[in-house]
Amino acid sequence: MSAVTSSRAAPSKVVLITGCSSGIGAATALRLVKAGHTVYATARRPETLSALTEAGCRALALDVTDEGSMSRAVAAVEAEHGAVGVLINNAGYSQSGAVESVSLADARRQLDTNVFGLLRMCQLVLPGMRAQGWGKIVNISSMGGTLTFPGGGLYHASKYAVEALSDAMRFEVRGFGVDVILIQPGLIKSGFGDAVAGAIAADPGGVYTTFNAAVAKATLDAYERGPLAALGGVPDDVAAVIQRAIGARKPKARYPVTASARLLMTQRRLLPDWAWDTFLAGNFPQPKEL
């Protein structure tokens, strides 16, 4: 071992999590702080994080669509600890609706949040991780990063991008002592289904009105009442997998979470495109000319 290596200070293992106001982010922050980690929980409005600060988390304002906000949050952690040890990229949402019916403004907002925000956070923390020779980046993807449902094209595109970025970075930064880990949740009962239904695209022309409404209903049914709902999970199920992944000496590249994720990802991998389309036709109406 070289003198330089032996004199290096112990690496920072402080955790920074985006999107902690509810759901998976909140559950992960709570689980990790209870396990003894130093956790910075973030949200666009830090006043929404009071329950987490009471549990011992440190709250920061962080908007993944704002360069200044991201830079300030990372700088605040680095000023106190030298580096972000573990970055958990959780912030995101789902823009639903037939691709033609989604405005470019909404499409850009989806990718800004789910892809470019995640990418920029990785770029901001990596210099510190490289300098200390240790780090873990956990990107919250989805089973929707390996398969596509009609009416979710923009959301799925964002998660496919997360998968690709993570695969590239995993190879690129491993030699610096940094692990890149993908978490692939299936159906999680966290208000996500309601949010998806609420974010359905408007359709002024009316061609996709019935279809978009059916997508909203199918999403709510899947998360709350359908047969797959029994194969879903809760946010803490994802948090538990994240805790296990960041604690592993050699973490896996991907961690599917819930039986619904494992079932549907396997089904998509095994079915040819025509068979997958046939499966989808049994669950979604085919948009047609009026």
Chunked mean pLDDT (size 10), the chain, 290 residues: 56 97 96 98 96 97 98 98 98 92 95 98 98 98 95 96 98 98 91 58 70 77 67 93 97 96 95 95 78
DSSP tag of 114 = I
User: Kindly report the CA angle at 60 between 58 and 66, in degrees rounded to 5?
Assistant: 160
pLDDT on residue 6: 44
**Tokens read off for 244:** 């296990």
Q: 5 lies in a domain?
A: no
Q: 131 lies in a domain?
A: yes
Of 19, 21, 60, 56, the C-alpha closest to 35 is: 56
**First CA to last CA distance, the chain:** 73
Q: 6 lies in a domain?
A: no
Question: In which domain, by residue range, is 122 found?
Answer: 11-281
Amino acid code (one letter) for 158? S
Look at the alpha carbons of 243, 123, 154, 48 in this order and tell me if their dihedral is positive or negative.
positive
Q: 209 lies in a domain?
A: yes
pLDDT on residue 3: 43
Q: 95 lies in a domain?
A: yes
pLDDT on residue 283: 81
Q: 136 lies in a domain?
A: yes
pLDDT on residue 209: 80
SS3 of residue 219 by DSSP: helix
pLDDT on residue 257: 96
Q: Given the structure tokens 């030298």, which residue do they identify?
A: 82
pLDDT on residue 69: 98
19 close to 52: Cβ distance less than 8 angstroms:
no
pLDDT on residue 245: 98
User: Kindly report the CA angle at 29 between 24 and 33, in degrees rounded to 5?
Assistant: 150
Instruction: Give catalytic residue positions.
Output: 21, 141, 155, 159
Q: 290 lies in a domain?
A: no
pLDDT on residue 289: 63
Q: How many domains does the chain have?
A: 1
209 close to 168: Cβ distance less than 8 angstroms:
no
CATH code assigned at 197? 3.40.50.720
Q: 140 lies in a domain?
A: yes
CA distances from 276 to 3, 102, 221, 265, 269 (A): 57, 24, 20, 11, 10
Tell me the whole-structure pTM to 2 decimals: 0.91
pLDDT on residue 2: 43
> Would strands 135-140 and 178-185 be described as parallel, antiparallel, or unpaired?
parallel
